[in-house]
Each structure stands twice: as C-alpha cells, then as structure tokens.
Amino acid sequence: MAFTPYQLFLAGLMLITGSINTLSTKWADRQTSHFCDGSGANVTFEHPFLQGVGMFLGEFLCLLVFKFIWYSTARYRIERMIYKGDAASSVVRFWPINIKKDTRLVDGEQTFNPFIFWVASICDMLSTCLSYIALNYTSASSFQMLRGSVMVFTAILSVLFLRKNLTWKHWLGIFAVVIGLTIVGVSDVIFSKQPEGNHTNAEKLAGDALILIAMLFTSFQVVYEERFIGKYNIPPLQAVGWEGIFGFSTLGLLLIPFYFIIVPTSNSGPDHRLEDVLSAFCQMRDNWIIILATFGNVLSIAFFNFAGVSVTKELSSTTRMVLDSGRTLIIWIVSLALQWQAFYSLQVLGFIILVIGMGIYNGVWEHLFRLCVSRPPISSERSQLLPSHDDVTVYESNSNRPLVVWSEAERQYIGDKLVSLEPLNNEHIKYLQDLEINGSLDFWTEIIAAAKPIDVRIKQSEFDQYASEFKQRSLPFRVLVDDVQAVIDDEKQKIDAESLKRQFKSRFFGQSKADIVGTYVSYNEILAFLEEKAQADSQHIAVVDIGRTYENRAIKGISIKFNPAATRNIWIDCGIHAREWITPAACIWMVDKLIDEYNKNDATVTSLLNYWNVYIAPSLNPDGYEYSRTTSRLWRKSRARGTTGSCFGVDLNRNYPRKWMTGGASSSPCSDTYAGPSAGSEPETKGVINFLQSKIGTWDMYMSFHSYGQWWFTPYGYDTSLPANYNSQYAKAQIGVNAIRSVNSARTYDIGSVAQLLYIASGSTVDWAYDDLKIPFANTIELPPKSASPGFVLPPSEAPGVCHETYVGMKAFLAAIKQELQSSMSG
C-alpha cells in the first residue's frame, strides 16, 4: 500500500496523539488526592465517565475549529464558485482571485443531516461504558488480549457492509497484529507478581464477553463513519465535531443518573457511585496534575480523532484500526521509561509480531524487498516486447517512487503535470479545441463547455510555456498531479508484484487462468483466459474470431450460449481505447461471473442467459493495449502507421461510418481523436462491423465500456438530438445506476446522450450500433474513477470493486431490458 505524504502525516499524528491521550489518562488515573468527605484518605482518580465527557468536549472543539477555518476561507471558496460562473461579472473584475489557497480541511459537502453522527457517538459511548464495566469483572490483561478483536470485527464489517475486497495479505497482517497484542497481554498474566483482582470464573467470562461486545461497537462505529463520510464527502473535522456535540450532551446528561447508581467495586467516590462528579472536582482541586492531565486528554483526543477519521476517509476503517494498534508499542515504551510497569521479555516478541503484522498489512515488507532486488524478472512475453537490453535501465527510487524496470520510452512522463483547466468563456473553449486538434496536449477529459473542468497532461518541458499562456488568457488552472510518472511507477510496481505471484503459482501449483479476474493483465493472458473458459464447457461457450489488428493480432471474444433455443443476442465490448485498463478487467469479470453464477443457478443470471446469447470482447484494440503496457502507458489510439510517417494510430471510437468526421473528431494523424483516413478504414473497425452485421436483426443490446468519469451514455454523439426510445433507454440506465449504488452508495453516474451531457463526437460505436444496426438499447458507460486523480491510472487494488459493482449494475440493466422486450412481445 503506497501512502501519500499527507496520509503518512495523518497516520503519524494519529499514533502520537493517541498515545498522548492514553498516557495522559493513565497519568491522571495514577494520581491520588482527597475526597470532599473530610476523611483525609488519599485515593486514586477513577472517573472514566467524566473523562469520557472530557474526550467528547475535545471532539466538540473540532467543530469550532472547522467553523473558524470555514469562515476564514470563505473568500477563497467563493472565488472558486465565481470561477465557474461569468468571467465578466463585477465580482471577478474587482475581487482579486487566489484559488491556490488550501482549504482541504473544510472542503466537502454540507447537505448531510448532522444526526447521522449521533449513531457513531452512541457506539463510542457504549464501547467506553462496556469496557469500564468489564474491567470490574475481569483483568486488564484480558482487555489487552481481547482488544485485538476490534481489527477482525472491523475487517469483517467492512467486507459485509462496505463491500471491501481484503486480500490474503491484509488478513495475514490483521491476524499477526492480533497475535502480537495477545502475547503482550499473556506476558502480564504469566509474569506479573501482582494479582489482577479476585474474580470468579463466571465474572471473568462475563467481563471478557463485555469487552468483545465493546470492540464490536467500536468496529461498527468506524465502519459507519467510513460509509457516511465517504457517501457525503464530509470533512473529518466537521464529522468529529458533530460526534463530540452528541456525545458530550448525551453522556453529560447520563452523569446525573450515574451519580445515583451504587457500584461496590467503584472507587469514584466515598459512596462508591458509578460516577461521582462532585468528588472528581474535589480531587482535581486538590491535585493540579489531574487538571493538567485532563487538559492534555481533551486536546489530544481532538487531534487523535481528527487524524483517525481522516485516515478512515483517505484509506479505510480497517487500516485505521491496524495503524491504531501501533500506539500500544509507544505506550509500552513510555510506560517502561516512567516505571509505570514492569518489563517482561515476552512482550518484546509480542511487539515484534505486531510490527511485522502492520508491515504485512500495509505492504511495507514487500516494498522493502523490492528495493533490495536489483532487477525484477521479466516474463518471456514481456522480454519479446521490450526494447533491446541496452535500451533498458533500472531506475532507483526517488521522490517515493518505487524501484521498477522501464525502458527509456516507458519513462516518458517524468515530471509531467496533470492539470485541471476551467474555461470561462467561448474564447477559452476555442483555444483548447485548437490545442486538441493539433495534438499539442494530452486531453484526459473532453472539452465540454464553459465552467466545465478539463483535465490535461502537460509535458514537463512545456509546462512553464503553457502556464504562461494560461495566465495571459486568464484561463484558471491548477495542478492535480505533480509527477505523472510517479503515479504510473506505483501502479506498475503493484501490477508486477501480482504478475510474479501468478507466475509462481502457475509454476508450482498449476494456477488457473481464472486467477487473472479483477486484475490488469497482458492481452495474451486475456486470450488464454477465454480459451480456458471455452475448453471447460465447449458445449455452451466458444471463443469467436472478430478480426485482425494492424499489427496482425487476433481480436477475439467469447460467446456464451446456454439455451439452444435462444435467437436473440447482446454485445459487450471493452478496451477500444488503449489506456483505459479497467475496461478489459470489467469484461473479464463479466465473463467469469456470468458463467459461474449460471452454473450456480443464480435466478437473475439464469433468466438472462436463457433468453439471450451473450458476446463479450474484452479488448477491441489489442495493439494499442499492449503498447500502453510495454511502452507508453497513456497511449489512447490504435497503432496504425499514419500517412505522415511520424504519427501513429487512429481513435477507433471516431472511425465508425455513422456521421464520420461531422464533428468532435480530428483529421490530424497526430491528434488523439484522429478519425482515420476514411470511415471504417481500420482493420479493427472492419472486424467489428463485419461480425455484428453477420447477425444483424438479432441484437437487442450493445454496450461499450470506457473510462473514466462515471457517465452512462445513450445515443447520439454526432448531434444533440435524442433517439426515439430515449426515455426507455434512460429509465433502464437509471435502474443500472441504482443497482451500482446498492453496492457502493458513494458511486454516482450521470445519465444522458453523449452530445447533450458532454460534447459532439461523431463516428462512435454507439451511434453506429443504434442507427445502422437498429439495436434498440445502445449505450456507452464511462467507468470510475470520477476525477483525474487517479484518472486512467486506477490503482489495481480498486479494480475488483469497480468490476463487481459494474457487473451488478449490468445485471439489473439487462433484466429491465428483458422485461420490456417480453412485455412488448406479449402485448
């Protein structure tokens, strides 16, 4: 797992302030002072519920800080909104613009209901109360051993409710951390000479059960936070603040009944009340150290929970719990230095295992191992595609970039900037359109309209020049990624690691080709996967030849025909643009899951595959795809040699004959949207046209997957008119999007025609399929992510989640189409 500097800062802040919070609480608990009853006896300060109220007060302070930053940065946030409006407005002309002001701490949505955090605060309180009650019936060592269960509970709840995909490394790391914490607790039981209370076995069992329930509440709290903070994009400072308000008010009111509850084992007051606030204030007045420790407790919890919730939002709730376990080590070291506890050698073993587990979970050891390897092995397939040995260089890590093997060509993005432009008027739009047509910049998103951000990659050597031009034209811009190559290097490291594991499993365990599902793989691996599926059930599944590429690669797909009586067909394709790696992965996922779930008698899939024959082509641009894998990661087009000799490739999604070159395409061979020398000129295009035309009149659905942006498109792209059945297509797409959101509530898609939502784009597959082949449901889906960071370089770890939610959406979409078609036939 690769951390950004900001995420490392948050993790460090969480560990340090969390340790300070625990130590300050422990410091206060060790203090003795007098009660107000006049007995003169010194007793320890044991007021956990009052300290809990103090912690919620610290969290409440986060909301005050949020409000202060919110109002102090209001000007800059307003300026950003103005930038998306009329550039000629008086506010813009007379109010100097400064959009570079960092407002990260308050950026986010403000339309949520604050009471959603009442649930989290209740979970926090229940966990605190149950833990304290449990310690009255069992030992502190038991608590130490059982608190590791919070990581297991969090991981399980993340899988169940957040649809997280935890790898075996994550689970191994979690269990190693749990074992380490258990050993630390066991050492106290074995070696401690101080008896930890006189409890019956029944009491110990009840206490241990309460600890586990308390940890379950903590796990539910952090998973709940991750779900809703991600869903509404809530700033962590604000989230912590609202939890503080609800917790402070609720637990503060509970102090009243707690005063009248008598607990014989309690030492919170002379009358053994569950919480004696009056005695607590007397003890504070008598010992200033308690006041100081309480003050440290309040402040540290504010920083700790802010950092913790930020880690949840930036990474995950499970990662937060695993990192949080590290403060046990810090607390142990400080406690030894202050002589608050005895040293047991077995604890060292426990903490070593804990650190190893944290490293396994976060991928630290794998990264360190790679740093020690001079050169990772290259598969025979890659060795044929890479340049000669003399052209390959091993680049050492710098700027947190992993050690990887690249050819000089593959290193072409060093220092390149990913920039977001916000055109304000038609002059800006025309200027950017000229740049796109001339192939001057690499446009990651299309030019839509004024006030719509556009993501472009600018070469390092040209950035200063373009930045100067943008300023001269008053065209707002900001840098999203400072070094594109660093992002690509990180992706490559992870992909290579997965590839090495597949090679190892294949060599020693006879790995199935199905192990590539949910990963980024070579085109040859895709073909091997299709062949394996066909060989496993040749009666119903077959590999189909679609055509050949410019470089004479075979374009292949798969046909799935479980019902011999089915005469209707549907088509799904991916990978028409080379750099959109998530799309072939999505197609492979669909092939695997459709076959698997049909064989498991899944009702929805069985119904669909008994009604339709399914054709899926994972990559319509194998040449470009392999070129993006081996030479130029951000290559978009095919690899046909242009007429100029110096520029290669055609945008295959501008080469189809329907309204070819009537808008939104370029005649320049060097442009990324070059439509080719003529309509349907490319061998890849001809192969698809011939294949689909051979079954014309049988197609009910055509779907083409692209990335990125999270759009669900209907025809048309060549102009702003709408297809005759637009309302029906829109309704079915909405059903698909709703199904996706049932899996990932934070995922949003915009639905509509290409031209109306984005831009004019002629010569596309979807318009050709709808108009020329008369396919009633012809759509294009732009898969996640939503934004340019990460854009096309979607981390491999996110691929399974995207593939799964897309598959769920497609099932619902197809079921809705099937229902309409059957209704129209019966009607």
Interatomic CA distance for residues 203 and 232, integer angstroms: 43
Please give the span between the terminal C-alpha atoms of the chain, in angstroms, as a whole number.
56
| Residue 706, beta-bridge partner list | 782
How many Å apart are CA 688 and CA 695, to the nearest integer?
A: 11
**Beta-bridge partners for 458:** 417
Which token pair is 280? 């607590």
Mention every residue, 6+ apart, whose C-beta is less than 8 A from residue 313: 226, 229, 230, 236
Report, in angstroms and rounded to the nearest whole number, the Rg of the chain calculated over CA atoms. 31
Task: Give the whole-angstrom CA distance, residue 583 versus residue 190.
Answer: 56
b or e along 747-759 (b: 16 or more beta carbons within 10 Å of the residue's beta carbon)? Answer: bebebbbbbbbbb
* H helix runs in 116-260, sequence order: 116-135, 140-146, 149-161, 168-191, 201-232, 236-259
What CA–CA distances, in Å, run from 205 to 138, 142, 198, 212, 217? 8, 10, 13, 11, 19
Q: Which helix (H) or strand (E) holds 385?
A: helix 380-385
Q: Which residues are catalytic?
A: 782
CB contact at 8 A, 342 and 157: no
What is the distance of C-alpha 565 from the center of its chain?
Answer: 43
Strands 777-783 and 711-714: antiparallel
Write 690-695 long-range contacts (CB < 8 A, 24+).
Answer: 690/547, 691/544, 691/546, 691/547, 692/571, 692/769, 692/773, 693/773, 695/569
Residue 5 burial by Cβ neighbours in a 10 Å radius (0-12, 13-18, 19+)? exposed
Residues 496, 796: contact at Cβ < 8 Å?
no
Provide the 10 A C-beta neighbour count for residue 228: 19
The 3-state secondary structure of 687-725, one letter per residue: HHHHHHHCCCCCEEEEEEEEECCCEEEECCCCCCCCCCC
CB atoms within 10 A of CB 201: 7
3-state secondary structure 398-426: CCCCCCEEEECHHHCCCCCEEEEECCCCH
- The packing angle between helices 364-372 and 484-509, to 10°, is 90
Q: Label the pairing between strands 750-753 and 711-714.
A: parallel
> What letter would DSSP give residue 674?
B
| Helices 288-314/5-30 angle, 10° precision | 150
Tell me how far apart the alpha carbons of residues 714 and 212 are, in angstroms, rounded to a whole number.
51
Inter-residue contact 588 to 516 (CB < 8 Å): yes
Residue 671 zone, left/alpha/beta (φ > 0; ψ -120 to 50; rest) = beta
Hey, what amino acid is at 255? L
Task: Measure the CA–CA gap between 604 and 477, rounded to whole angstroms.
Answer: 47
Neighbouring C-alpha atoms within 13 Å toward the C-beta of 480: 21
Tokens found for residue 765: 């597959």
